Structure 1
Amino acid sequence: MITSSFPTWQQSFSNPSEYCRLSLRKWPEKTGIVAIPYSMMNFGQLANGRRSTMTMKYIITIIALSIVYILIPFTASAHVKWFSTETPIKAPLEEIVSPLFITLTLIISVTLGVLPKLSTKLQHFNLVKTADKRLTSLRPYSPILLRLGVAFALMIQLLSGSILAPEIPVRQMTMWIAILTISLLLMPNKMATQLGAIGLFMLFVFEIQFFGFFHMLEYSYYLAIVLALLIQKTRYHHFGIPILYLGTGFSLCWAALEKLVFPELSINIIESFNIPTFGIEPSILVVLGAFIEFVLGYLLLIGIFNRLLALSITLLFFMTTTVFGITEIIGHSIIHIILIIFIIEGKGFYPTPIEIHRGLRHQTVFIVFNFLLINLALLLLYYRFA
């Protein structure tokens, strides 16, 4: 019995469009009459697809680097305590909540409302899907990266004569605690990791008595690291990534408020390091930088654009080393470790705060309302205890 690769005539009546499609596909293979043009057409489509993918990669790379370069002057005064020698002077509240502050708050609120829709569209790009798939395959290495990364960051800090942050000097007690903590974290053992986390917590608590709890809140990501290390290799280990997001996001928001409450510190840094202002007044530049840093921290808190956001912050911090040098590397080394983990993990195992709300309308209301609430609440809290 002779079989044909063509669709049967019965198929033409049941589904005419499918019959035509199959006939056109089988005809070149059966007859060879238009096999060459057909194969050339497929090759051309494939080449165009690859060319468009490569073009998209170049466009995304150029846009990302351009944005990062433009943002350097606005965020170069991050962690002003590391570089400014001026005495902090709290600005009056009426100067902080200025027309510029209110205008930026409203503009950013409207802009943030578009992000849920943009995030949904972005997930449909093949480039994003491929990157997510490859990065997700690296998730098993995140706990190891966190443990060894913290040990490496503490080593760099000790060698520079500081601990936890560049403005915190090493003392005899903290030196031995740090050495013990590093040794424990280098051991691939659950108990050793938990003891190392306790050692890191002791360092944090020890410095509170010298600098105060308010000062150390800017480094609350250390508390998040402690919790993430404590629950490694336990049934609660999936909570580690959300905890790191909360701690890091809050730290960025808290550091941003310092620029608003103590603007003279940031202005002093801009003038001392000759940071380009592009014709913008330093006082305005400080407010813009504070809002940019606060928005970055807020987006980490609510869990949107996780990988893209972590990559952008990492590139931004790397670029600011051209201004501040080795001090910037020492101070942000631990944050770079966390951001690399965010790039690998994405949103993590559990739904992010914004994903708890179903539907674009609910997500838009959530992201706008909470930005206004968190911005004003943290500002008043910071101003009250500053």
Structure 2
Amino acid sequence: MKKWLIIFIFILLSVYLTPLATDAHVKWFTKLEPIKVPLEEILSTEFIVISLLIAILLAVLTQWIPKLMDIPGVSKVDLKLDSYRKYSRNILKYGTAIAFILQVVNRTMFAPEFTISDTWQTVVMWVIIVMLLIPHHIATKVAALIMLGLFISIWNEAGWFHMLDYGFYIAIIGVFLVGRTQLETAGFPFLYLGTGLSLCWVAVEKWVYPMMTTDIIHEHHVPTFGFDPELFVVLAAFIEFVVGYLLVVGILNRLLAVVVTILFILTTTIFGYTEVVGHAMIHIVLIIFIIEGISFYHPPIKMHRTRLDQMIFVFLNFLFVLSTFLLIYYRFG
């Protein structure tokens, strides 16, 4: 019983208070070939118990989170962040340009694993950057269409399920394309959804291919806070999955974005410049989340009016989403 209590506390602290010194995209930092472990090994007693504990925790959070606004000073910070919303689209636009500059200088596209091999790819990257730097919405849309074409070309080579790790780029492209149109208000909700689903997807990789992550832990001396590396990998994947899930259902977005931003900043001390290049775009997206909150987003949880209905929805929905992602990734990933 004491063991499960320690695990439960670890999950709680890791999600809200402490950084997790491991990286989401393990493929960037290991040369091991991905080997699936048996499904019954993934669905261990620890995995099932942790899943149920997290589902209960998230159900309780639906009622506890609104009380955070009663903390002195929180409302003022919230109002201050609201005043920066008018800059959100420019932050995303010029932040994307900066992220692409880092990538092209590093001779990569979208992620460190996709290296630039032809001159035309370099030219396309710089065209995207220039078009994003032009302060006009038509230029932004042109940049978005070129980004989409380049993304699809890489998608065809790498495989559809592999590129789901970077599905948030599709969401970013969508935000750019609907700017100054009747669908503009749908842009940022789509960004929340796309980013959340991407984080969930990369988290499942740790369960299906755990040896890749344990190799990183040993090679880079990643602290495991006293846990066995194998159990730590399971917990790390759960934390990443919960982060993505919370973005999708609309719980704790501003505070969550701050925590995840700190997490990614701290991982640079372990993984260095590759980490900076690989997660620069994610940092920009998280800044948007910090500024925007969920004022424009009608989270799925709001479909249920009573507290009990909301708690039941989150509990069951988390288990359903977790099972669906795991089974699809195991079958096709």
Pick the aligned partner of 2:104 from 158, 179, 196. 158
Q: Is the 8 A contact 1:163 1:170 kept in 2?
A: yes
User: After superposition, what is the alpha-carbon deviation per residue over 1:94-126, rounded to whole angstroms, capped at 9, x for unaligned?
Assistant: 101111110100111111111111112112234
Alignment of 1:288-327 (within 5 A): 288-327=235-274
- Percent identical pairs in the alignment equals 45
Give the match for residue 193 of structure 1: 140
Residue 58 of structure 2: which of 87, 112, 127 is its match?
112
- What is the match of residue 277 of structure 1? 224
Secondary structure of residue in 1 paired with 2:300: coil
Find the structure with the greater CA-based Rg. Answer: 1
Give the match for residue 142 of structure 1: 88
Task: For CA contacts below 8 A with separation 6 or more, give which structure has more relative contact order.
Answer: 2
Identify the match of residue 320 of structure 2 among 358, 370, 373. 373
Instruction: Decide which of 113, 126, 131 is 2:77's aligned counterpart.
Output: 131
* TM-score between both structures, scaled by the size of structure 2: 0.93
Alignment partner of 2:183 out of 212, 236, 246: 236
| RMSD, matched Cα | 1.6
Question: Is this contact kept in 1: 2:257–2:286, CA < 8 A?
Answer: yes
Provide the C-alpha distance between the structure 2 equivalents of 1:78 and 1:110, rounded to a whole number of angstroms: 24
Q: List per-residue Cα deviations over 1:263-288 (Å, max 9, x = no partner).
A: 00001000000112233211111000
Q: Which deviates further from its counterpart, 114-123 or 85-94?
A: 114-123
Q: 1:348 to 1:184 in 2, by over 3 A?
A: farther
- Give the AA of the match of 2:42: I
Tell me the amino acid that sits aligned with residue 354 of structure 1.
I
CA distance in 2, matches of 1:134, 1:112: 28
193, 199, 216: which one pairs with 2:163? 216
**Contact 1:241–1:348, Cα closer than 8 Å, also in 2:** no
Alignment of 1:72 onto 2:20: yes
SS of 2:113's equivalent?
strand
1:85 corresponds to: 31
Task: Provide the residue aligned with 2:46 in structure 1.
Answer: 100
Distance, in Å, in 2 between the alignment partners of 1:91 and 1:152 is: 39
CA distance in 1, matches of 2:17, 2:68: 23
TM-score relative to the length of structure 1: 0.81
| Structure 1 residues 349 and 191: alpha-carbon distance in aligned structure 2, compared to 1, 3 A threshold | same
1:354 maps onto 2:301 in alignment: yes
Kindly indicate whether the alpha-carbon contact (under 8 Å) linking 2:19 and 2:266 is maintained by their aligned counterparts in 1. no
Unaligned runs of 5+ in 2: 1-11
Count the aligned residue pairs.
321
Amino acid of the structure 2 residue aligned with 1:160: N
Aligned partner of residue 114 in structure 2, secondary structure: strand
Map of 2:128 onto structure 1? 181
Deviations 1:47-106 (A, max 9, x none): xxxxxxxxxxxxxxxxx9997784424xx0320010010010011101011111101001
